[in-house]
Amino acid sequence: MKISYETHYKSQREDGRYSSTMASLMAYLRDLKPEFEFKKDFTKEEFLIWQKGIKEKAKELLCMPPFTNQPSPKKLLSEKRDTYTVEKWEFYPDPYSAVPFLMLIPDGVNDKNKAPALLCFPGSVHPKEFIAGEKNLDRNVCQVEKYPERNKMALYAVKEGMVAIVFDNLGTGEVAVETDKKDGGHMTRLQMCHGIMQSGFCYFGLSVFQKLVFLEFLKTLDFINQDKIGVSSHSLGTNDAMYLALFCDEIKAIVFNDFVSDSRKKFVSLTEYDETEMKNSDGVWHEVPGIYKYFSHTDILCALSPKPLALNEGGAEYNLEKIRCAYKLNDAINNLQITHYPKYQDEKTRENSFSLPDHSLSMKEYLDINNCDAPDHSYRKDVSMKFLRKVFFDK
């Protein structure tokens, strides 16, 4: 059956009420005014108060586990490459987990010649080894390699002189349950997310918690320039990057490799599809209970101002203009780098992106308005490294 706004989500009653729970929920969300939505007319003083408020609310919504004293991280191996060394470590964020990560260290970096550090967060089910340019582990769930010529962000970073640290996303790669499927751990991650939420946590909360624990270890490394720590992220990994940059003054630069969007507006605008397409297209791991009432990802990106921020795959003007306003407000517009998909580099191709209808869109129409060329979704090496060279090396 074809689902549409006119036949399924528009009220057919004289009193304006809705017969389906879904339609009534959409109506509620269309009228909702998020408490911490960025306002373009903020004064600098109002911005600082708002920034503090959204930071506190985000920490509350993520429902992170408590921080506890745990053993120090352990180095598991060290192997030399042409111009750098690859180290494998594991750290212990809680009483139960052993979380592996790779650290790529350029030749010549030491306590007398410190280097910037870049925390690298992959897209969805890409294993950390792939992102680092290493051979994937001999496990079925570690065999995902999409756009191998584009997505090796940690490898690109170490070749630019940065210490690159890369993790698996929760429930993927080396930290996935092994199966016969070469899907990166997709299905077991789905089951895991149900358990996480029923435990009072959420996927991003647990992931960000682990990175916050790791940052405490990073502070102890004498070869890291502690004034030059950044995050680089693709797709799913952009969530870790946003929240870490929001919470931590130590994060000085953010590479956000995705298009900027508002998931609440997406939820209500997508009403035109076949019933077989009615599913959570983003994955339950994206869910942060209660987020719609308070803010969107666009608002978080606004709250990162004035930190240097690279938005690598653009988005709709109705979102990007809010972020520009936040940076202009703090006299930091030069700290904001916006790049669009190659398909949308020409301004004339983005003329329909200044507003978003609140219903009656298909997925294709939604992506078109948001200037998203989904099949081309991949890490943008050139603009990312250009941005990081400017921030960390003044080049």
Domain regions of the chain by residue span: 2-6+47-393
pLDDT at 280 (0 to 100) = 54
As a whole number, mean pLDDT of residues 277-283 equals: 69
As a whole number, mean pLDDT of residues 138-143 equals: 92
Give me the phi and psi of 196, to 5 degrees please. -60, -45
Determine which of 79-93, 193-207, 268-282 has the lowest per-residue pLDDT on average.
268-282
Are the beta carbons of 130 and 151 closer than 8 angstroms? Answer: yes
Query: 316: helix, coil or strand?
Result: coil
pLDDT at 197 (0 to 100) = 94
| Rounded Cα distance, 295 and 37, in Å | 5
pLDDT at 277 (0 to 100) = 79
pLDDT at 279 (0 to 100) = 62
pLDDT at 281 (0 to 100) = 61
Are the beta carbons of 387 and 291 closer than 8 angstroms? Answer: no
As a whole number, mean pLDDT of residues 69-75 equals: 98
Q: How confident is the model at residue 220 (pLDDT cuts 50, 70, 90)?
A: very high
| Rounded Cα distance, 287 and 343, in Å | 29
Q: Which CATH architecture has domain 2-6+47-393?
A: 3-Layer(aba) Sandwich (3.40)
pLDDT at 186 (0 to 100) = 77
Are the beta carbons of 315 and 263 closer than 8 angstroms? Answer: no
> 3-state secondary structure string, 237-259?
HHHHHHHHHHHCCCEEEEEEECC
pLDDT at 184 (0 to 100) = 81
* Mean pLDDT (the chain, rounded): 96
DSSP per-residue codes, 105-158: EETT-BTTB-EEEEEEE-STT--HHHHTTPPPPSSGGG---SSTTT--HHHHHH
Q: How confident is the model at residue 352 (pLDDT cuts 50, 70, 90)?
A: confident
pLDDT at 130 (0 to 100) = 97
What are 4-17's pLDDT values in tens digits? 999 999 999 999 99
CA distance readout (Å), 69 to 66, 75, 92, 213: 10, 19, 9, 10
What are 154-192's pLDDT values in tens digits? 999 999 999 999 999 999 999 999 998 888 887 789 899
